[in-house]
Structure 1
Amino acid sequence: MKKFSAVLIAAVLALTSVAALAHSGGTDSKGCHRNHKTGDYHCH
């Protein structure tokens, strides 16, 4: 049962960490960019 739990936890972590990848956005000289769909301007 411990082995199954460890595998399950590892699988959940692997799947959720994919969502944390950054997008490929072109940033300006300040490190910011505009989302053309929403009009939002934000910095990273």
Structure 2
Amino acid sequence: MKFIIYMEVKMKKVIFVVFITFSFIGGVLAHSGGTDSAGCHRNSKTGNYHCH
């Protein structure tokens, strides 16, 4: 019984760490490139100008 409780706690920790990791990765991998003073930039591949 103690083993099952231990595994449940361990899985919750693993799920939490994975969730936090992917939360940060999503923001980092959104796109590269700086923004101007309005928070916008031009996509060098398509030429589209967009804001965040």
Provide the TM-score with structure 2 as the length reference: 0.53
> Higher RCO, 1 or 2 (CA under 8 Å, sep at least 6)?
1
RMSD: 2.2
Q: 1:8 aligned to 2:14? A: yes
Q: Distance in 1 between matches of 2:20 and 2:39?
A: 28
Which runs of no fewer than 5 residues in structure 2 stay unpaired?
1-6
After superposition, residues 1-44 of structure 1 pair within 5 angstroms as 1-17=7-23, 18-21=25-28, 25-44=33-52
Which runs of no fewer than 5 residues in structure 1 stay unpaired?
none
Higher helix share: 2
Provide closer, same or farther for how the CA distance between residues 8 and 27 of structure 1 changes in structure 2, counting only shifts above 3 A: same
Bigger-Rg structure (1/2): 2
Provide the TM-score with structure 1 as the length reference: 0.56
State how many pairs are aligned: 44
